[in-house]
Chains A and B, each alone.
Chain A
Amino acid sequence: MNAMSHNQAGNAYNFGFLDEYAKKEVRRAILKAIAIPGYQVPYASREMPMGRGFGTGGLQLTLSLIGPNEVVKVIDQGSDDSVNAVNLRRFIEMTCPGVSTTTATAECTLIQSRHRIPELPLTARQILVLQVPYPDPLVVVEPSEDKRKTMHGEADYSRLLVKLYEDIVKFGEITISHRYPTRINGHYVIDPSPIPRWDVPKLNDSAALILFGAGREKKIYAVPPHTKAEPLAFSDVPFRVEDFRDEQGRRRACARCGCVDSFLDEFVTDSGSKTYQCSDSDWCDMQLSKARQTQGEPA
């Protein structure tokens, strides 16, 4: 099939903006990343018409994966409506004619996200692309990339574990809030992008393929479906997700939808008090409409 056949008359770009050669290269890197779970595969990151750091790494994956019947969702900080998410979604709509976009997690086939994995469990027909600013978890303990490569090859993560040890010594617990180092398939440790600890367990045994793209650092890596993903921890100090209990030990609820098992964002109200709301806006909407339905039904 001729690649240009997707083009609508008058569209100056190739379908998916990238030329077919660039897309093929990204796809090859993706295949390799799937074959070696957690391994950072280098690829030739292209210039995109937006600054690096705005998700160009993730976007190149998304554009290389998009097919004509794709339903795409773009999330930034859990929300579909933030400026960055809207801009990326517009760019995809503009450069991929025929592709539809949605905010509903349940309806999409391809998700590009930053900072969050949706609360709704993903399915085998979905692919999640996460934007990554810093792909290598070892960069905090080893400045030389050559040495880091050897350490990854030998699964030598003792220096990362020492960081956790020192954290417990200083603070009585592991304080890493985002980018929690996670061991994939028993070997490579990845930086799972700036998702909160809350989302890390979703990497484990995921039904959906999860891909990571770092545009600036030119790396792609993957957690294939149903692969083991273990956050680094000690046998007697296990990994914990964020604790959303209040002073009385009750689980805080979303002020908007009432949900008590989602990741909450904290807001300060005009009166100065704190209030909490689902960070995943689509999830919050779903819970709200469910609640309205049950309220509408006779008891």
Chain B
Amino acid sequence: MNKILEVRGLSKIYGPGCPQCLESTGPEADTNLCPHCGSVVAIHDVSFDLFEGEILGVMGESGSGKSTVVKTLYFDQAPSSGEAIFFDNDRQYDLFSLNAAQQRWLRNHRFGMVYQNPNLGLNFNISAGGNIAERLLMSDLMDYGAIRERAKALLARTEVLLSRVDDLPKHFSGGMQQRVQIAKALATQPPLLFLDEVTTGLDLSVQARILDLILEIQQELKTAMVVVTHDLGVIRLLTGRAIVMKYGRVIETGLTDQILEDPQHAYTQRLVASAL
């Protein structure tokens, strides 16, 4: 299997930072807030690999740094340090040494993101079809008819009623908004997709159907995904491997089955036990 993403030593500190930040935060210190300088060590020294067509889970409690991991990789935020290499067919990109325009190009053409808050992933003032069109236009497709056909096909694929293609997503249900986000993310057929708590807050039946959709897409398109969630059910259903985070650090990593059956770290044991 080909590697698609290699992340090494990824760190993000919010605040000025000081020499004691790292030793004063993390699972042992039981905080991510440096008592000396007040900075938040959102993530520190996060490393993992992702392979073609694989779904990797990022789990952990609220504030453990899960979203920060995908936000830095999707260029929503610059990391404080660390490296990430994206392997795209026979090319490779050192993500954090690219300039802004190159990063934007990758974001628009080769990556996709689905946010927990649809407000971040969608423009609520333009139609569902327009949202997808925007992404296609970013990748320089300039034929109106082709854009329209592609938008409709994507919405059909994500099971959004075609009669709603020209409606504003702010009038959609939460589940429908996530479907539009997924359709938008898939528009350019990216080999790498980031999903951040995409089913959090939705009804259980709606959740189940969206998770099914994600699995189908992964099987159809062989898209590699990083799935962020605090929901062990989502981790169990979607992911083959997972990393467990606490106070910004990775405390456990391995095959999802093994982590859930036989967690090594005491924290993971408590997490799994409480979910049973």
Q: A interface vs B, CB < 8 Å?
A: 150, 153-154, 156, 158-159, 161-162, 165-166, 168-170, 234-237
Is there an interface contact between B143 and A169, defined as CB atoms closer than 8 Å?
no
A106 to B129, CA, bound (A): 49
A125 to B146, CA, bound (A): 44
A235 to B144, CA, bound (A): 7
A193 to chain B, nearest CB (A): 25
Is there an interface contact between A165 and B130, defined as CB atoms closer than 8 Å?
yes
Known: A159-B134, A169-B129. A154 touches B143 (CB 8 A): no
A165 to chain B, nearest CB (A): 5
Is there an interface contact between A154 and B100, defined as CB atoms closer than 8 Å?
yes
Is there an interface contact between A165 and B144, defined as CB atoms closer than 8 Å?
yes
Which of chain B's residues 120-142 have a Cβ closer than 8 Å to chain A? 123, 126-127, 129-130, 133-135, 137-138, 142
Q: Which residues of the partner chain A approach B148 to less than 8 Å between Cβ atoms? A: 169
B168 to chain A, nearest CB (A): 10
Known: A162-B137, A236-B143. A154 touches B126 (CB 8 A): no
A251 to B16, CA, bound (A): 69
A150 to B142, CA, bound (A): 22
Is there an interface contact between A150 and B130, defined as CB atoms closer than 8 Å?
no
| B interface residue count range (under 10 / 10 to 19 / 20 to 34 / 35 or more) | 20 to 34
Is there an interface contact between B127 and A169, defined as CB atoms closer than 8 Å?
yes
Chain B residue at minimum C-beta to C-beta distance from A160: B137
A146 to B123, CA, bound (A): 19
Q: B interface vs A, CB < 8 Å?
A: 100-101, 104, 123, 126-127, 129-130, 133-135, 137-138, 142-148, 166
Is there an interface contact between B100 and A158, defined as CB atoms closer than 8 Å?
no
Q: Which residues of the partner chain B approach A162 to less than 8 Å between Cβ atoms? A: 123, 126, 130, 133-134, 137
Q: Which residues of the partner chain A approach B166 to less than 8 Å between Cβ atoms? A: 169-170
11 contacts between A and B (CB under 8 A): A150-B100, A158-B138, A159-B134, A161-B137, A162-B123, A162-B130, A162-B137, A169-B127, A169-B130, A235-B142, A236-B144
A-B contact count (CB 8 A): 50
Chain B residue at minimum C-beta to C-beta distance from A174: B144
Residue in B101, B127, B138, B144 whose beta carbon sits within 8 Å of that of A237 in the complex: B144
A232 to B44, CA, bound (A): 45
Is there an interface contact between A165 and B147, defined as CB atoms closer than 8 Å?
yes
A115 to chain B, nearest CB (A): 29
Interface SS of chain B: helix, strand, loop or mixed? Answer: helix
B139 to chain A, nearest CB (A): 9
Known: A236-B143, A237-B144. A158 touches B101 (CB 8 A): no
Chain A residue at minimum C-beta to C-beta distance from B108: A158
Is there an interface contact between B100 and A166, defined as CB atoms closer than 8 Å?
no
Is there an interface contact between B137 and A165, defined as CB atoms closer than 8 Å?
yes
Is there an interface contact between A234 and B100, defined as CB atoms closer than 8 Å?
no
Chain A residue at minimum C-beta to C-beta distance from B135: A158
Is there an interface contact between A165 and B133, defined as CB atoms closer than 8 Å?
yes
Is there an interface contact between A168 and B144, defined as CB atoms closer than 8 Å?
yes
A158 to B100, CA, bound (A): 16
A156 to B127, CA, bound (A): 20
A165 to B145, CA, bound (A): 10
Q: Which residues of the partner chain B approach A170 to less than 8 Å between Cβ atoms? A: 166
The 8 A-B residue pairs with the shortest CB-CB distance, nearest first, are A234-B144, A158-B137, A158-B138, A161-B137, A162-B134, A165-B133, A237-B144, A154-B101
A159 to B137, CA, bound (A): 8
Other 13 A-B pairs with CB < 8 A, given A154-B104, A165-B130: A156-B104, A156-B138, A158-B137, A158-B138, A159-B134, A161-B134, A161-B137, A162-B133, A165-B129, A166-B126, A166-B130, A234-B144, A237-B144
* Most chain B C-beta atoms within 10 Å of own C-beta, residue among A150, A153, A166: A166
A136 to B137, CA, bound (A): 20
Q: Which residues of the partner chain A approach B127 to less than 8 Å between Cβ atoms? A: 166, 169
A154 to B135, CA, bound (A): 15
Chain A residue at minimum C-beta to C-beta distance from B139: A158
A41 to chain B, nearest CB (A): 21
A153 to B104, CA, bound (A): 12
A181 to chain B, nearest CB (A): 13
A162 to B137, CA, bound (A): 8
Chain B residue at minimum C-beta to C-beta distance from A233: B142
A123 to B16, CA, bound (A): 60
A166 to B135, CA, bound (A): 14
Is there an interface contact between B142 and A158, defined as CB atoms closer than 8 Å?
no
B157 to chain A, nearest CB (A): 20
